[in-house]
Amino acid sequence: MSVVVNTDRAATIIDGKSIAEDIRLHIAEEVHQMKSTVGHVPGLAVVLVGDRRDSESYVRYKTKGCEEVGIKSLLAKLPGNCTENEVMDSVARYNEDPSVHGILVQLPLPKHMDEERILSVVSLEKDVDGFHPLNVGNLALRSRKPLFVPCAAKACIELLLQSGIELMGKHVTVIGRSKVVGLPTSLLLQRHHATVSVIHAFTTNPEEITRESDIVISAAGVANLVRGSWLKKGAIVIDVGTNPVEDSTSDYGYRLTGDVCFEEAVKVASAITPVPGGVGPVTIAMLLANTLDSAKRVYGLSD
């Protein structure tokens, strides 16, 4: 799909579901080929702590994604009142398991836990979330190549590239600087020679900076933060936000909405991702791709 900028009509909707489906089909073919060649398939292990509904939902999507492409999935589910050592023991067991090629600890963890301490236990070679300090550091150094790039950041770039959008020399504003999305996305954009502005809680003029941008990527986690007035006519918008908003008409009592006020933005932007159905499906596809790449390295099948 190629997005043609047209400022005279409503924005083109960037279909993340369709892009993700194409990626998954390609992964499924490679997994099948791997099984035929070496008799093994990639394995992804998830450590889930507590009973947050959103975390359980994300894990279900990831497990379903594995099933669809033939990747083996394992799940360690621990109670919310467990200790850090119990979580680290689960991670350590997967580190030692040769059938596991990717490990992710579902975030956020309960507040009494030290997230950094737990994530540091994940083997660098199995860090398919891309949060290991060496992976982040190598991403920051353009002369180096990380083993894995964080999945949501990778998904943002994939959506832009698959949509035929040029990044070189473009002014991109990233809203949010978390290690999960904002920071790695800004680093990845610089690898594509974009000019990057990062908006955070202490930015004094976020609306003015955002309005100057060719591309806006929002990962703030604040529903409807970005209004139509924040956008330059013809801007491209990637909305990473997945914020639950009360909705009595929904079966679940809530619906998901993005960081961007879609109804306003669609009248100003030239292209925009919906929520849901935009960044989310491609993020899971990137997780599957990272797990496949890890297994290919182990079995000597890397390009």
The catalytic residue positions are 62, 106, 129
* Chain centre to alpha carbon of residue 73: 19
Angle at 177 between CA 139 and CA 126, to 5 degrees: 40
CA geometry: angle 70, 74, 79, nearest 5 deg: 150
| Cα Rg, the chain, nearest whole Å | 19
CA distances from 239 to 125, 160, 180, 225 (A): 30, 12, 14, 11
**123 contact partners, CB below 8 Å, separation of at least 6:** 95, 103
Kind plus residue range of the DSSP H or E element containing 43: strand 43-49
